[in-house]
Chains A and B, each alone.
Chain A
Amino acid sequence: MEQTRTRVTADDPCIVCTDAAIRRGDTTIWSHGTFAIPRGTVTAVVGTNGAGKTTLLNAELGLIPLSHGNMRVLGGAPGTNNARIGYVPQSYTSDIDSSLTAEQSVLLGLTGTRFGIHPVTRAQRAKTREAMEFTGISDKAKLRLSELSGGLRQRVAIAQALVSDPELLMLDEPLANLDLASQRTTVRILAQLNSELGMTIQIVAHDLNMLLPILDGAVYLLDGHPHYACLDQVLDSDLLTHLYGTTVQVVTTPQGDMFVTPALTRPDASADTHRTDEVAQFHHHEYDHDRAQ
């Protein structure tokens, strides 16, 4: 029955949050998260350092419990549909000093969760090859991860995530530490995954510019609350300035391309530089009556 579901319908979103909140110890990371991310879309998760972007991904994967509210991911509670989620963590470039080959690494995305004795099948090898072709690393299959550049390792990690045919792909800072060419390649691959395979994609990002051409919307973590908005609403100078705590301008070129730029003025003294736990207390919501501050 899962297979017969249509992919992009407004009433069957990929992720639904209802008044969701997360606490770590005594600190509220964020709260009042009420939003829905439609299927088949590309969504950025944006916010300042420490705003809880990675926390949001971890909550969606069921690795961190919600302290309040409700969340549904691919129609189930967080963590119950992880087999249908591809995940590319942030640390792939720095952490992995592995002697494993690219091919072996991608293969683990398919076989790595199975207990018992299972020889690798021909179908699994074919699937692995297909995923590597999609991200353009077939010629690197036999090279060790430690021999690959950051950009290529990124593509190995994406291939590993998509080899199990996920419906939702989550990437944590996929463009950080990559040079311009590698960033473009990564964005192109993500665009293809979305348009050709209809994959829903969620990207934690600092810099929106590279992603602007493929984004449908963004979850922005502002004042301690996650909000979802379509892209045209996100691309607002006042909002982005508030969001990043430094003056940001949205520039539209004569060709119609949009850019987000930091304004080249002296640091704005009025910019927001609050800690997450402070901003979580900034404003009140209608359902605050059941909670003490």
Chain B
Amino acid sequence: MNSLTYDPQWVSTITSPFMLNAFIAGLCIALAAGVVGYFTIARNSTFAAHALAHIGLPGATGAVLLGLPVSFGMGAFALGGALVIAALGKRASQREIATGTVLAFATGLGLFFARMSSSASQQFQSILFGSILTVTPGQIIGFAVFDVVLLAVLAVTYRPLLFSSLDEQVAQAKGVPIGLMNVLFMAVLAGVITIAVPAVGTLLIFALVVTPAATATMVATTPMRAIVVSTALCLVSIWGGLVLSAMFPAPPSFIIVALSTLFWGIAKGIEAARHRTA
């Protein structure tokens, strides 16, 4: 195993075609994760982001078993889980034992499916921890289409979704269809989880969908600015992760998650310092 060593060839590495794919994929993923991450924080739904990644795992390995694309199975399971969580509403996050048990079982089922065929077994680690360097042009087109649909839907539903996220009771009294907003958000989150898995995998996804948005809400005060900052932090984490992992050979997923966590830690520290002086 090579420890942290500097690779002088890194410039030629990051200009290679597979790296270009990774950079474009990173942009698409950052856009989706950054925007939806803000709403995840605003709705107190960080639990759901975590849960959907786990629920998607058996879908992903099961798809490989059946010879289907990973994102197909991942997306189907995540969407199914999303609709169940939406139907349960707030109760889902309060039933900690039931939920934790279901998630553990889902992860175990994912392992079971993975071990049933050698190809699924080979892909298991990249589903768990991501493999942004192996993203194909076909996947990138899928990401881009998802981003366009996502941004179009969010542009139209932006204010009611925001209102229902931040102030559900008043929004409901004012006639915002909060049930529909909840289902819409959960479906969108399932999609984001599905496209973010190739970047960091199901186990590390929290650091890409939730952490940058949490950092952004500490820094920015208006929803729109927080969304922009959150997207920027996602992008810097992913692109920074790609560049640094080329300079100092290391798994990109690790550096992406490390950068995201670092930014959050810095923001948290500054906030704590400000509170002490205030």
Q: Which residues of A contact B (CB under 8 A)?
A: 61, 63, 79, 82-83, 85, 87-89, 91, 96, 98-101, 104-105, 108-109, 111-118, 142, 144, 157, 160-161
Contact = CB atoms under 8 A, between A and B. Distances in A.
Closest 10 CB pairs of A and B: A112-B163, A87-B173, A89-B169, A99-B217, A101-B221, A61-B173, A113-B174, A108-B163, A82-B175, A111-B159
B155 A112 contact: no
A108 B223 CA distance: 11
B222 interface: yes
B162 interface: yes
Given A98-B166, A100-B166, A112 B221 contact: no
B171 interface: yes
B203 interface: no
Contacts of A160: 167, 170
B222 A109 contact: no
B166 A108 contact: yes
A118 B158 CA distance: 9
A142 B220 CA distance: 11
Contacts of B170: 87-89, 109, 157, 160-161
B201 to A, nearest CB: 29
Contacts of A61: 173
B272 to A, nearest CB: 14
A99 B221 contact: yes
Contacts of A98: 42, 166
Contacts of B223: 100, 104
A63 B173 contact: yes
Contacts of B171: 112-113
Nearest to A146: B217
Instruction: Decide if the interface of chain B is mainly helix, strand, loop or mixed.
Output: helix
12 contacts: A63-B172, A79-B175, A82-B175, A87-B170, A89-B169, A100-B166, A100-B221, A101-B221, A104-B222, A112-B159, A160-B170, A161-B170
Nearest to A164: B174
Interface of B: 42, 155-160, 162-163, 166-167, 169-176, 217-218, 221-223, 226
Contacts of A115: 156-157, 159-160
A99 B218 contact: yes
A202 to B, nearest CB: 13
Nearest to A144: B221
Contacts of B42: 98
B173 A118 contact: no
Contacts of B158: 117
A181 to B, nearest CB: 22
Given A89-B169, A161-B170, A113 B163 contact: yes
A222 B156 CA distance: 46
Contacts of A87: 169-170, 173-174
Contacts of B218: 99
A147 to B, nearest CB: 9
A236 B238 CA distance: 70
A113 B176 contact: yes
Nearest to B175: A82
Contacts of A111: 159
A191 to B, nearest CB: 23
B162 A112 contact: yes
Contacts of B156: 115-117
Contact of A101 (B157, B175, B222): B222
A105 B221 CA distance: 11
